[in-house]
Amino acid sequence: MRIERALASEAKALGDILSHFPKREGIHMSDLNYCLRKAYWRKTEDVVVDKATILNWGNGLAWQWLLLGTAETPELELDGIKLSPDSVLGIEVKETSKYPSSKAEPIEEERVLGNTSWLRQTMAYCYARNHPTVQMEKEYEWDLLVAHDMGFNKDIRYWKLYFMGKELIDNWYWMRERWTLLTETLDNARLPDVKYSEGWEHKLCPFFERCKVELEERGMV
């Protein structure tokens, strides 16, 4: 018996996964939800996606297909911002290997409420689906299904998120402000300020070394 690594087949498998994630045209809500400087570089450079990122994207897509029965995502557009909710029925699927403690316990209510990027994303979807009839004092709903996958420690949590119309409107204004900032910097070939990011993003970012000195000078890492 003998064994050899089939590198060409590995590359093809990664390419097949990556083919489900073509480079997006225009400005997407996910560009605005995270670091604007990273979004700028992704829009202006041919960025090579590393293997770990491709596999993480593939994991999320697989969970979406298993739990929703489809890997196709509808595309919406509002105020020049493109959005791709997992389902127009109001369900977002997240796959994560992150746990709040060494006990490998799934995230609970306070962790969901503290995950601002997930909340901003679901609120944007909820606003876009209900636009233009969003009312300040009315409550709106979006479901969040979180699949936890950390080795043999696996679990699932299904959350129902309820937002007041005012929360949806305020969140959408935040997205629009960032859309204006990113659009202006792209039009003028000018980097967005590094302040338009969150601390947890920095060391995970493929462009971290470009910003490291500036982040250190500002005490952001």
Q: Could you give the CA distance from residue 131 to residue 171 in angstroms, rounded to a whole number? A: 13
Over residues 175-200, the mean pLDDT reads 95
What is the pLDDT at residue 88?
77
What integer pLDDT is reported at residue 102 of this predicted model?
47
Q: Pick from 24, 9, 13, 18: which is nearest to 48 by CA? A: 18
Q: Is 80 exceeded by the pLDDT of residue 148?
A: no
**Range with the lowest mean pLDDT among 32-36, 89-93, 105-109, 113-117?**
105-109
Question: Span 2-6, mean pLDDT?
Answer: 95
pLDDT at 74: 80
As a whole number, mean pLDDT of residues 87-102 equals 74
142's enclosing H/E stretch is strand 139-150
| CATH architecture of the domain covering 24-185 | Alpha-Beta Complex (3.90)
What share of the chain has pLDDT > 90, as a percent?
58
pLDDT mean across residues, the chain: 89
Write down the residue that tokens 């009312």 correspond to: 135
At 108 the pLDDT is: 66
HSE (CB half, 13 Å, CA atoms) of 9?
3
Which tens digit of pLDDT belongs to each residue from 98-132?
654 445 555 567 667 777 899 999 999 999 999 99
Res 112: pLDDT: 72
Residue predicted with more confidence, 97 or 133? 133
Quick one: average pLDDT of 131-135?
96
Of residues 97 and 203, which shows the higher confidence score?
203
Lowest average pLDDT, out of 48-52, 161-165, 166-170, goes to 48-52
pTM comes to 0.88
H or E element that contains 113: helix 109-114
Q: Where are the domains of the chain?
A: 24-185
Mean pLDDT over 53-66 rounds to 88
Please say if the pLDDT value at position 178 is more than 90: yes
Q: Is the dihedral of CA 104, 106, 109, 114 positive or negative?
A: positive
Q: For residues 162 and 64, which has the higher predicted lDDT (pLDDT)?
A: 162
The confidence score (pLDDT) of residue 110 equals 67
Does the structure show a pLDDT above 90 at 168? Answer: yes
